[in-house]
Structure formats: C-alpha cells, structure tokens
Structure 1
Amino acid sequence: MRLIFLGPPGAGKGTQARRLVEKYSIPQLSTGDMLRAAVAAGTSIGLKAKAVMEAGQLVSDDIVIGIIVDRIEEPDAHDGFILDGFPRTVAQAEALDAALKIKSQKIDMALELKVDHDKLVNRIVNRAEESRTRGEEVRKDDDPEVFKNRLAAYERDTAIVAPYYKKQGLLVEIDGQQPIDVVTESIQKALSSILTNG
C-alpha cells in the first residue's frame, strides 16, 4: 500500500499518518527526515544533498527522488509506505511516478485532507495563545504570520498536486474538519478498496 498524504499545514496529516503506521506497519516517510538521514549516513546522494544545503540552496527534485527511491528499497518499506510532505509540485509527482514505474511500482492512493483555511488559521492562533498562557514559547510554525505564509506557499505550489492525482483516479478527499477519530474512520473506509483489490 503506497500512499501520499496531501493537505495544508495544520490539517492533521501527521496525526493520521502515525495511526496508519501503527495499524499497517508501513513507514511514514518525511522528506526532511530522509534528507537528514541520508546526509548523516554519508550515502552518495546524501553527500550531494549536503553540498547543496551547505551552499544555502534548495535540494533539487532529482536528489529528493533519489533519496526516496533509496529509502523505499529498505525492508520496512517492502509492503508499502506513506509519503508525507512530498510531492510538493507536479514535476515532483511526475518524477516519482517515473521512478516507481522502473521498479514496477505505483502510488495506490493520494489522500487529501480538506480543511477550511480560516479555521486552520484560527486553530493555530488558539494554539499559540494556549502556549503563551501556559508560559511556553510559541513554536515557530505556530506563529500566525509564519503560518499564513506557509498556507500561501501551499496554495501556490502544492495545492496543484491534488488535481494531478485526481486525473489518475487516485485522489480521495477526506473532510479534515471532522473529529480526529472520524477522520481516521473515513481514511480506513477509503483504504478498504485498495486492501480488497490488492
């Protein structure tokens, strides 16, 4: 079961992905974590990424795809994986499809958590307020202005990835504003079609 999680920051992708990891024993692959691991391990692609990052540049799609392809060859990803935070652009989605095709693999489903953006901003504002009330430092990601910028970047770049998967008949939209357990149930219902066919 090879899944992609799509949705704006703060939509609950991480929470739902963790539940799937526990239920199906497949790894959740975050490109940030994989990049850091490849750099730390000193793999050939990790060394390339390190040079790019040290130069203060963004890591190219080729390098990110290379790191993902290396990672999905590891034993724990044999039965599938969950990609969270990737692909961020249609070019990345196309490159991922091409790389998987070489391995006779494909993405089984793209799950998009749909959440009203105003509600997301309110959720973050409240979370920041609660942190301040408790005397805790507000997470950088929970700064409302930073969050609005991340949301705008998502709309500009990543929101166009959903139609790419919709065209392939792989996109399933999930109402991310429901209670967490209800969202999990909706995802399970969507996945049952793959599990019964696969």
Structure 2
Amino acid sequence: MKSLRQCGFSLLELLVTLFVVVLVTSLVTLNVGSGDRDVLARASIEGLAKSANYALDEAQFSGMNYGLLLQMEDEAGQWRYHYDWLERTPTGWQAPTAGKDVFSPGDLPSGIELELELDGVVQERETLVITTQNPQPQIILYASGETLPGALDMRASDNGELLWRIEWNLLGDFRALQGGEPTEEGFQ
C-alpha cells in the first residue's frame, strides 16, 4: 500500500512567508513616507503662492488691504509654522469675510524652517513667534496693487537645504521656485 502524502504548508512556512511580506511592506512604506515632506512642502508653497496672487487681485477689486500672517508655534517640543490670511477693516486686522476657501488658515509640514526677507532685509526668526493678541501680518497686499518686495525660503530643518522659495516684486507677482529655481511647469 502506498501512503498518500498530504501537500500543503506547515505553520512555520506560513509564519516565515508572513514575516517576509510584512518586512517588504515596511521597507516600501518607509521609502514612500520619506517623500511626504517634499510633497506636502510643494503643495503648501504652491497653494500659498496661488492664494497670494488671488489676495492681491481681491485687494484691488474690493479696495481692501489683505495680509499674510506667518507664525511659529511650539508643538510638543517641535517648532511648526502656520499662516493666516487677514483683511484690514476699520477696527483692525481680522479674518477675511470673502473667499473663505482660498483664505483658509494653513500649516506647513514639520521638519521645515522658514526665512522671511522683506525689501532686502532678512527678518529675525523671533518675528514669527506671535505674542500679541492682535498681531500684524508680515506681508501686506495693498488695494493699490502693490506690496513690499520680498521672498520666503522654506528649508529642511535637518540640513538647511533650500526646498522652496516664494518671491514677489513690488507689483505682487508671486512665484514659487523649487530649490530657488523656476520649475519646468513654469508655475507663477
């Protein structure tokens, strides 16, 4: 009599296979996850530049001044950057009444350092730590269609590499530049 041998996998073989699959999945996730900061940085900067261009158009159309308030907050021992759009009213700076989708507050990804330059002068990092009840925006877009020329550099906090730069001129032409250079898409 011949005995029939059962074909199949042992529990040990299944566990080893499962371990290999989990290991490969973890490595792929790690590699994909390291690019998150770059993707988030690009989305934040391009969105911010587009919002600034819209804000300047809205300022000219409505006759109201708009401002961008950049602020740095300590969140669990790590500095994180936020921004808010404000409009100038007779009672002071407040959240815009029009364009709430475009003017919504935003966060920049962690692991980022900002450097703000206005009219050729680099602003002290402490100017981004807001301590007053009604802070003034650092970047103002005037109803006349003008703004103080400047640039906003976004650098990696671990190595200081320039990731993105938004620059603008007196007429408020905002441009997002990857690594400080124009992108192939020619975004403006």
- Same-fold status (TM-score > 0.5): no
Question: TM-score w.r.t. structure 2 length?
Answer: 0.24
Higher relative contact order (CA 8 A, sep 6+): 1
Question: TM-score w.r.t. structure 1 length?
Answer: 0.23
Structure having the higher strand fraction is 2
Larger radius of gyration: 2
